[in-house]
Structure 1
Amino acid sequence: MTNLFKNRYSVLYAFIVYFILFSFLVRTILFISSSYHADFNLVEIIKIFCTGLFFDIGTGLILVSFYALFLFVIPDKIYQKKWNRRLTPIVFFLFLVITLFSFFAELTFWQEFESRFNFIAVDYLIYTYEVIHNINESYPLPLLVSLILLIALIITFIFHKLKIFKNSFEQVISFKKRAKISLTLILIALSFCLIVKNRWAEQGNNRYANELSKAGIYSFFAAFKNNELNYQDFYSLIDDKKAFKLIRDELQETKSTFLNAGLSIKRKIENDKPAYKPNVITITVESLSADFLAHYGNTQQLTPFLDSTANHSLFFSNMYATGTRTVRGMEALTLSIPPTPGSSIVRRTDNEHLFSVGHVFNTKGYINTFFYGGDGYFDNMNHFFGNNGYNIVDRGRKLLNETYDGSRTIIQDNEVTFENAWGICDEDIFNIVIKDADLKYKRNQLFNNFIMTTSNHRPYTFPPNKINLATGTREAAVRYTDYAIEQFINKIKTKPWFKNTVLIIVADHCASSAGKNEIDVSKYQIPCMILNLKNSANVNINKMTSQIDIFPTLWNLLGWKYTNGFFGKNIFDADYKPRVVLGTYQKLVYMRNDSAVILSPQHKMESFIYNKAKNEQKKTDLPKAFIDQAIANYQTAYELFKNGGLRQ
Structure 2
Amino acid sequence: VIQNIMESYPVVPLLAGIGLLAVGGAYLLRRQVKAGFAPHPPFMKRLAVFATITGMAAAGVLVTSDSITRPMPSAIARELGGNGLYGLVSAFFSNEIDFANFYRTIPEKQAAERTRDLLAEDHEPFESTDLNDITRDIRAEGPMLRKNVILVGMESMSAEFMGTFGNPKRLTPNLDRLASEGLLFTEMRATGTRTVRGLEAIALSVPPTPGQSILRRPGNDNLFTIGSVFQDSGYDTRFLYGGYGYFDNMNAFFSGNGFGIVDRATMAAGDVHFANAWGVSDEDLYDEVIRQADSSAKAGKNFFSFVMNTSNHRPFTYPAGAIDIPSPGGRDGAVKYSDYAIGELVKKASAKPWFRDTVFVFVADHTASVAGKVELDMNKYHIPCIIWSQGFVEPRRINRLASQVDIAPSLLALLQASYRSRFFGDDLIEADEPERPVYISNYQKVAMIMHGRTTILEPKKQIVQMKGGEVQPESAVDHNAVEDTVAVYQYASHWRDISRRIPSVLDNGTLALGRFGVHRLPDPKRRAPPSRATPTIPVR
C-alpha distance in structure 1 between counterparts of 2:147 and 2:173, whole Å: 27
Whether the 8 Å contact between 2:287 and 2:345 is mirrored in structure 1 is: yes
Query: Which has the larger helix fraction?
Result: 1
- Tell me whether 1:238 sits opposite 2:106 in the alignment: yes
Residues 5-20 of structure 1 aligned to structure 2 (within 5 Å): none
- Map 1:433-448 → 2, pairs under 5 A: 433-448=289-304
**Given that residues 227 and 343 in structure 1 are in contact (C-alpha distance below 8 angstroms), is that contact kept between their aligned partners in structure 2?**
yes
**Alignment map for 1:85-484 (pairs within 5 Å):** 131-157=1-27, 159-160=29-30, 163=32, 166=35, 224=92, 227-261=95-129, 262-272=131-141, 275-396=144-265, 410-472=266-328, 473-484=330-341
CA–CA separation in structure 2 for the residues paired with 1:537 and 1:373? 31
The question of whether the paired residues in 2 share the 8 Å contact of 1:254 and 1:574 is answered with no
Partner of 1:646: 500
Structure 2: how far apart are the matches of 1:226 and 1:435? 37
- Alpha-carbon distance in 1 for matches of 2:454, 2:289: 40
Residue aligning to 2:406: 549
3-state secondary structure, aligned to 2:187: strand
Please tell me the residue identity of whatever aligns with 2:22: A
Whose RCO is larger (CA < 8 A, sep 6+)? 2
Matched residue SS, 1:311:
helix
What amino acid does structure 2 have at the position aligned with 1:578? R
Larger radius of gyration: 1
Deviation by residue 1:348-370 (Cα, 9 ceiling, x = unmatched): 11111101110011111111001
Alpha-carbon offset, residue 152 of structure 1: 2.6
**Structure 1 segments unaligned to the other structure (5+ residues):** 1-130, 170-193, 201-219, 397-409, 611-615
For the 8 Å contact 2:184–2:385, the answer to whether it is kept is yes
Residue 464 of structure 2 aligns to a residue in which SS? Answer: strand
Give identity over the alignment, percent. Answer: 40
Q: Does 1:511 align with 2:511?
A: no
CA distance in 2, matches of 1:226, 1:251: 29
Q: Does structure 2 retain, via aligned residues, the 8 Å contact 1:570–1:576?
A: no
Gap change, CA 1:394 and 1:416, over 3 Å in 2: same
Q: Offset at 1:457?
A: 1.1
Secondary structure in 1 aligned to 2:320?
A: coil
Tell me if 1:600 matches 2:458.
yes
Q: Give 1:634's aligned residue.
A: 489
Partners of 1:456 and 1:267 in 2: CA distance = 38
Q: Give the total of aligned pairs.
A: 456
1:298-329 CA-to-partner distances (Å, cap 9, x unmatched) read 12211111112111110001000111111001
Output the TM-score relative to the length of structure 2: 0.80
Q: 1:168 to 1:436 in 2, by over 3 A?
A: closer
CA RMSD of aligned residues (A): 2.6
Q: Aligned pair in 2 of structure 1 residues 222, 541: CA closer, same or farther (>3 Å)? A: same
- Residue 560 of structure 1 corresponds to which residue in structure 2? 417
8 Å contact kept, 1:287–1:456:
yes
Partner secondary structure for residue 443 of structure 2: coil
For residues 266-323 of structure 1, the C-alpha deviation after alignment (integer angstroms, 9 at most, x for no partner) is: 1111123663110000010111011111222212211111112111110001000111
**Letter aligned with residue 255 of structure 2:** G
- Letter of the structure 1 residue corresponding to residue 402 of structure 2: T
> Does the 8 A contact of 1:579 with 1:593 survive in 2?
no
Deviations 1:510-555 (A, max 9, x none): 1112222222322211000000176543111111011110120121
Q: 1:243 to 1:525 in 2, by over 3 A?
A: same
Deviation at 1:332, TM superposition (A): 0.5
Q: 1:295 to 1:618 in 2, by over 3 A?
A: farther
Q: Is the 8 A contact 1:325 1:509 kept in 2?
A: yes
Structure 1 pair 268/576, CA: closer, same or farther in 2 (3 Å)? farther
Offset at residue 156 of structure 1 (A): 3.6
CA contact (8 A) 1:544 1:593 kept: no
Stretches of structure 2 that go unaligned for 5 or more consecutive residues are 39-68, 80-87, 503-540
DSSP 3-state at the match of 2:494: helix
The question of whether the paired residues in 1 share the 8 Å contact of 2:132 and 2:498 is answered with no
Instruction: Report the secondary structure of 2:2's partner residue.
Output: helix
1:549-577 alpha-carbon deviations (Å, 9 max, x no partner): 01201211221110010101112321362
Change beyond 3 A, Cα 1:150–1:517: farther
CA distance change for structure 1 residues 284 and 492 in 2, over 3 Å: closer, same or farther? same
AA partner of residue 376 (structure 1): G
In the other structure, the counterpart of 1:624 is 479
SS in 2 for 1:419: coil
What letter corresponds to residue 234 of structure 1 in structure 2? F
1:594 Cα deviation after fit:
2.1
Instruction: Measure, in 2, the Cα distance between the counterparts of 1:562 and 1:274.
Output: 11
**Cα offset for 1:224?**
4.9
The CA distance in 1 between the partners of 2:341 and 2:168, in whole Å, is 20
